[in-house]
Structure 1
Amino acid sequence: MPVPVEPAAAPPAAPRKPAQRGWPGVGPQLAERLAKLDIFAPADLILHLPLRYEDETRLTRLADARPGVPVQCEVEVQSCEITHGGRRQLVVRATDASGEVMLRFVHFYPNQQKQMAAGARLRIFGELRDGFFGAEMIHPRVRPVAAGEPLPESLTPIYPTTAGMAQSALRKLIGGALRHNPVHDDLPETLRQRLHLPSLPDALRLLHAPPPSVSALDMEDRGHPAWQRIKLDELLAQQISLRRAYAARRAKNAPALPLHDTLTRSLLEQLPFALTGAQSRAFAEIARDLASPHPMQRLLQGDVGSGKTCVAALAMLQAAENGRQAVLMAPTEILAEQHYRKLSDWLAPLGIEVAWLSGSRRKKEREATVARLAGGQVLLAVGTHALIEDPVALPLLALAVVDEQHRFGVRQRLALREKGQAGESPHMLMMSATPIPRTLAMSYYADLDVSVLDELPPGRTPIVTKLIKDERRDEVIQRVRDACLQGRQAYWVCPLIEESEALQLKTAEESFEMLSAALPELTIGLVHGRLKNDQKSATMAAFIANQVQVLVATTVIEVGVDVPNASLMVIEHAERFGLAQLHQLRGRVGRGVHESVCILLFAQPLSQTGRERLKAIYEHTDGFVIAREDLRIRGPGEFIGARQSGVPLLRYADLEADAPLVELARDLAESTLRDAPQLADEVTRRWFGGRASLLKA
């Protein structure tokens, strides 16, 4: 869920050359392969670090080799032949002074047969296992050697690679890059000594060629001081770039919107509830930012039902108090309409009109609304991405609120900002109901301010979560009948089928027909992504009015739907959903005074990931705990969608395991930018080259 930030002040690094041009010693074809590994220059080769290591610095006698443990042995070939018993194989019988081994190759080339002719001396690397005719190795790595040939002096690195890029070729390229491109250490020696870290050149040399005294296992778990030095350097580069983005934003102008406390106080006085402590604190932070002449960029994060919309309404009223426009953009028609209805209900008694803009509105109505916004006659508007389309002019725009901001593309979010007056950047408030773990916020959101709603309004009913196997579906249907006949309502969410919207629609229609047949005494409704917006709105309105008792839906109801009378949620094939989605869907119930239940129907067998997700959602109701679990299961790249955003992912640092390093890098970034800007340039150039500006997304 990356957020739009101003372009980072990129260090003075030349943009990387197109991959196909190559560089000395690397031709266009090889450069193209290296580009697939994100290697565009010799400096990138140096930072292309091993995944694991193999110990070829010692020889093991065949008699001493343990089954299942990778070993290197030196043997002499006794025989080499192709067998045809059931499957064509190359079978080599080889011996050393202590025993015999059979080498089997199912896939082989004619030159391998020549290489392993009788009498050849080979070094073989692989795992021994007990075969039908004794000890054997399947597809070992083989290298012909001369008698007495010396052993390598360091562990053999195994690098991430791509088709057509052999390990031996990568090792040669990386070795050359290390010899001819000296790396300088940018950290003060006193700091390195205090942290017990090696210099950067020493860390890189050790990681590419560890001595035999270093355990391969210690290197692979990335806890070795050499790995710590690399991870700190990577985090420092990222933090410097994000701080630069923050500084670039602070240098821009924004309309100052002091809190006059007229409309905002009127809203608070007529609301049927009091703000929670967290809501009051968050609004105070936002109000202070809005009064500043620099553009606010704040993330308002809070669990499902924590009251983000109310805080956003107060922020929008602060803009209106100053005679300026504020808009709220939501990713779906259903969510946008919910916001519009809620804001209209709250603000109509104050005499404040809220405009509604979506693709589904009739052309005449839409044109009239666009004209009134362009003339500044309406100050507040709610809508979908229709708000950022060309004909919509917002000459007085001072605040843009984006709900579920991770669902919008980078360009869409930036387009909303560009609706403001020339020379002015509107304040931005992003809202998210997917809480972000602290280490992730520190690493990926260092360029913006975060407000957290960490308490729920009083009176919210706890939701009971039940895990039920799919074969007990009939019991679940009876549970739905009982709840609805008692006057309650229920959601029935259909399985997520990522690869096919059409297939998801078919499943939703089948579930609708199945429930209509099983529950003839109830009215069943259906909403899905392919319904026309007016049909969706009509079904949702009927559900809100309890004219529909059971709503069959795809994940279009994941966010924003607020029906206090709905107390039962059934999610089919819950094992197919992500943790954040399951938590969001569960949050659609428990909004009234009635006991609420979320039933997760799952099919067996469960994958390891599926089991972990269901265990987490069953055991936890706190969105922040669930977010931490989600981060652990999915990893940061998937969690924040950074692969699609342009934000450089951390390649080596682990946000949970390396949290102390994230803290240290953040502090170091500030002091480096203040005291040694040239050093900051070198660090970001090393890790991002000409790509530091990607952090603008």
Structure 2
Amino acid sequence: MSEAAPPPKKSALAGRLAKLGVAREADLLLHLPLRYEDETTLTPIAALRSGDPQQVEGLVEHAEVVLRPRRQLVVRLRDDSGVLTLRFLNFYPAQLKQLVPGAQIRAFGEVRSGFWGEEMIHPRTQTVAEAKALPQALTPVYPSTAGLAQSALRKLVARAFERCALDDPLPAELRKALKLPAWERSLRYLHQPPPDAQLAALESRNHPAWRRIKFDELLAQQISLRRAYAERRSHRAYALPAKGQLISRFIEQLPFALTGAQRRAVDQIAEDLAQAHPMQRLLQGDVGSGKTIVAALAMLQAVENGYQAALMAPTEILAEQHYQKLRGWLAPLGLQVAWLAGSQKKREREAMRQLLISGEALMAVGTHALIEDSVLLERLGLAVVDEQHRFGVRQRLALREKVAGALPHMLMMSATPIPRTLAMSYMADLDVSVLDELPPGRTPIVTRLVSAARRDEVIARVRDACREGRQAYWVCPLIEESEALQLKTAEETYASLSSELAELKVGLVHGRLKPADKAAVMEAFVRNAVQVLVATTVIEVGVDVPNASLMVIEHAERFGLAQLHQLRGRVGRGAAASSCVLLYEQPLSENGRQRLKAIYESSDGFEIARRDLQLRGPGEFIGARQSGAQLLRYADPEFDADLVELAQQAANEMLARYPQQADQLLERWFGGRAELLKA
């Protein structure tokens, strides 16, 4: 075949295979085709259909290198029914030797109607020996990388079938109960489907053979996560029973009652903290559902028992918001909270460290500065990690490893609701509490879609809102390619709004501001000394200004659904009617249109998360956790929800009754790598 090239040297081959996720020979069996080509039949030249990939066989009647309009090899191929032109815009000396008049050739490619009649551009060709039979199976087309030809991959896969174990790790009784085909049969079918295979079912991954592969992948994931869950429960943690003194005093002083969902989450967490094994719980809830109060009550339970509690947040703005809230709530109880951030001056940082060392403060709030070696949290009973998907697995482990001899309990919080199917497949090693109701008094937010051509009208609306005593956010576009470009846009927007709204005080916050300057602007906005806050996405989470009732998001089509929902949640925190204006530029891409439609139609974070999953896949929800909870290669938690549930049930049975087969399954899919599942 003309695509054949000398196989790459072993080390080069290993490097190229590694790019495809193939580390061992057995991994080739799970490197499944993207699509298939039918080389099992020959089509007479006169019967070729334009636009379809087909295979012909004939005699080379003429071959010539022409120089105009560009250098190319033009070959005329004849069979008993007619003549077809083969055209090669790039060609090699080997092809010139192969495609000579008189040679019997098979060509496979897509037929197009050209100026001189039907032709194939760059077909795959091979010389036909007299007795050469046609293939008996469809030809697989694999995901590949530069320097690795399809022919080489096919040979490697064929060799892997000869040399690797193909035994079925799923017990026969379980497989029959689940109505799944055998493992080896499914694998061989996907790599070499018969000519009459249903291509649509194969390429849409609906075929029974595909269901078997996806089920095994989900089962391996569930087993690994259930084992991680059991392994964590085997460790010792400080038992922190609810004593009630501080917690009841704290609840009494709150100016509002806890929601039913908050009380339920508090009870679940309190029960976990009382155990002598480490809690690993995810607290998820929509924007404004009151996660911080639940975290504060959990932290108080640790403090009541004489242990430290730490809350870590990914950004300094968010961490400081938590600190200010906790300090305000806990000061009446006579409790001190230490604040640790990378921007602190040495003297302030040392003073906070001394509060922790002396035991005057049993609570600490901060950014990743909390996990630096110089910070002493030797009696850490509870670690709370906010926006947990933004932290790397290593960072979360580092906070946990502060304690010698016992592991702290861990509470992870996320304001990005995780769709149920995703939580079932990726969070099976966690206990999950859901805040699915908003506190009373939250004002519904009206969302409006406005073309950027009407920007002047939006500015007038901002002016009117601020004249009535309200405040507004103006969020600048997300420019992924360049932080510097995003900063420039923010500064330009700040300058133009300062000019157009001269009677109002306009402030600016962005990621490159010095923390002290950022804090000063935020503090001025909180007390209404600044009426309009121009910002980049640093205000996405944690900012709570009840008097702000208008959010304007410029170039809204550039933002992800979760981000739009988070930003919208910065308003509607007071009694005033609140609005979110999404300014968009024309023309909109189809994906951008779908995102704006979803955010306009729904204010339910769980529904938005479900639609975000459909648009973008699971990576954004799992975030840095993905190195621990493997991202699925073939199964789709939303599309294959029924298989997720079956895999969950089967995982428990495999671990209880068939531990050796469970090991075999993990080895097959993960190569024995636990990959930080402890995080």
The TM-score, its normalising length taken from structure 1, stands at: 0.94
Work out the CA distance in 2 between the residues paired with 1:464 and 1:113.
68
- Quick check: 1:643–1:649 contact (8 Å CA) kept in 2? no
Who is 1:488 aligned against?
470
Who is 1:618 aligned against?
600
Work out the CA distance in 2 between the residues paired with 1:334 and 1:497.
20
Shift of 1:393: 0.7
- Quick check: 1:68–1:129 contact (8 Å CA) kept in 2? yes
State the secondary structure of the residue aligned to 1:299: strand
Work out the CA distance in 2 between the residues paired with 1:642 and 1:398.
24
Work out the CA distance in 1 between the residues paired with 2:300 and 2:676.
34
1:183 aligns with 2:166: yes
Shift of 1:524: 0.3
AA at the equivalent of 2:363? L
Work out the CA distance in 1 between the residues paired with 2:348 and 2:675.
41
User: 1:515 is matched with which residue: 486, 491, 497?
Assistant: 497
AA at the equivalent of 1:425? L
Work out the CA distance in 2 between the residues paired with 1:627 and 1:248.
30
* Per-residue deviation, residues 240-259 of structure 1 (Å, max 9, x unmatched): 11111111100111111111
Who is 1:258 aligned against?
241
- Greater CA drift, 520-529 or 617-626: 617-626
- Quick check: 2:510–2:535 contact (8 Å CA) kept in 1? yes
Gap change, CA 1:696 and 1:81, over 3 Å in 2: farther
Who is 1:83 aligned against?
66
- Quick check: 2:43–2:55 contact (8 Å CA) kept in 1? yes
Who is 2:330 aligned against?
347
- Quick check: 2:416–2:621 contact (8 Å CA) kept in 1? no
Shift of 1:348: 1.6
- Quick check: 1:376–1:396 contact (8 Å CA) kept in 2? no
Who is 2:487 aligned against?
505
1:661 aligns with 2:616: no
User: 1:207 is matched with which residue: 190, 198, 216?
Assistant: 190
- Quick check: 2:250–2:330 contact (8 Å CA) kept in 1? yes
Work out the CA distance in 2 between the residues paired with 1:638 and 1:451.
20
1:40 aligns with 2:23: yes
Work out the CA distance in 2 between the residues paired with 1:134 and 1:90.
16
* Per-residue deviation, residues 600-642 of structure 1 (Å, max 9, x unmatched): 1112222232222222112221111111111111112343225
State the secondary structure of the residue aligned to 2:674: helix
User: 2:450 is matched with which residue: 468, 472, 492?
Assistant: 468
Shift of 1:644: 6.2
Work out the CA distance in 2 between the residues paired with 1:352 and 1:267.
11
Who is 2:3 aligned against?
none
Who is 1:101 aligned against?
84
AA at the equivalent of 1:396? R
Work out the CA distance in 1 between the residues paired with 2:634 and 2:384.
34
State the secondary structure of the residue aligned to 1:597: strand
Shift of 1:121: 1.9
Who is 2:41 aligned against?
58
1:555 aligns with 2:537: yes
Work out the CA distance in 2 between the residues paired with 1:304 and 1:349.
27
AA at the equivalent of 2:527? A
- Quick check: 2:476–2:489 contact (8 Å CA) kept in 1? yes
User: 2:670 is matched with which residue: 680, 688, 691?
Assistant: 688
- Quick check: 1:492–1:553 contact (8 Å CA) kept in 2? yes
- Quick check: 1:464–1:598 contact (8 Å CA) kept in 2? yes
- Quick check: 2:476–2:493 contact (8 Å CA) kept in 1? yes
After TM superposition, list the pairs within 5 Å mapping 1:143-162 onto structure 2. Answer: 143-147=126-130, 149-162=132-145
User: 2:367 is matched with which residue: 358, 380, 384?
Assistant: 384
Work out the CA distance in 2 between the residues paired with 1:678 and 1:230.
19
Who is 1:73 aligned against?
56
- Greater CA drift, 174-183 or 548-557: 174-183
Who is 1:17 aligned against?
none
AA at the equivalent of 1:219? L
* Identity within the alignment, %: 69
Work out the CA distance in 2 between the residues paired with 1:53 and 1:609.
28
Gap change, CA 1:531 and 1:392, over 3 Å in 2: same
AA at the equivalent of 1:83? V
Work out the CA distance in 2 between the residues paired with 1:524 and 1:644.
40
Work out the CA distance in 1 between the residues paired with 2:314 and 2:374.
19
Who is 1:224 aligned against?
207
State the secondary structure of the residue aligned to 2:672: helix
* Per-residue deviation, residues 191-210 of structure 1 (Å, max 9, x unmatched): 32233322111111111111
Work out the CA distance in 2 between the residues paired with 1:390 and 1:642.
22
Who is 1:441 aligned against?
423
Work out the CA distance in 2 between the residues paired with 1:694 and 1:387.
21
* Per-residue deviation, residues 192-245 of structure 1 (Å, max 9, x unmatched): 223332211111111111111212222111111111111111111111111111
Work out the CA distance in 1 between the residues paired with 2:207 and 2:304.
57
State the secondary structure of the residue aligned to 1:490: strand
Who is 2:5 aligned against?
none
> Unaligned stretches of 5+ in structure 2?
1-7
AA at the equivalent of 2:453? E
- Quick check: 2:312–2:368 contact (8 Å CA) kept in 1? yes
User: 2:313 is matched with which residue: 316, 330, 345?
Assistant: 330
State the secondary structure of the residue aligned to 1:184: coil
User: 1:537 is matched with which residue: 490, 515, 519?
Assistant: 519
1:117 aligns with 2:100: yes
Work out the CA distance in 2 between the residues paired with 1:647 and 1:75.
53
AA at the equivalent of 1:236? L
| Bigger relative CO (Cα 8 Å, ≥ 6 apart) | 1
* Per-residue deviation, residues 107-126 of structure 1 (Å, max 9, x unmatched): 22232233222222222212
AA at the equivalent of 2:396? R
- Quick check: 2:443–2:572 contact (8 Å CA) kept in 1? yes
RMSD over aligned CA atoms reads: 1.6
- Quick check: 1:196–1:225 contact (8 Å CA) kept in 2? no
AA at the equivalent of 2:542? G
State the secondary structure of the residue aligned to 2:169: coil
Shift of 1:184: 0.7
Who is 1:567 aligned against?
549
Work out the CA distance in 2 between the residues paired with 1:643 and 1:601.
33
- Quick check: 1:326–1:380 contact (8 Å CA) kept in 2? yes
* Per-residue deviation, residues 407-445 of structure 1 (Å, max 9, x unmatched): 22222211111222x211110001000011111111111
* Per-residue deviation, residues 428-487 of structure 1 (Å, max 9, x unmatched): 001000011111111111111010001111121111111222222111111111111111
Gap change, CA 1:693 and 1:331, over 3 Å in 2: closer
Shift of 1:278: 0.7
1:132 aligns with 2:111: no
State the secondary structure of the residue aligned to 1:599: strand
Who is 2:358 aligned against?
375
Work out the CA distance in 2 between the residues paired with 1:614 and 1:666.
35
- Quick check: 2:104–2:127 contact (8 Å CA) kept in 1? yes
Shift of 1:53: 0.7
Work out the CA distance in 1 between the residues paired with 2:94 and 2:364.
73
> Unaligned stretches of 5+ in structure 1?
1-24
State the secondary structure of the residue aligned to 1:392: coil
- Greater CA drift, 95-104 or 682-691: 95-104
AA at the equivalent of 2:280? Q
State the secondary structure of the residue aligned to 1:606: coil
Q: Tell me the number of residue pairs that the alignment of Structure 1 and Structure 2 aligns.
A: 672
- Quick check: 2:312–2:385 contact (8 Å CA) kept in 1? yes
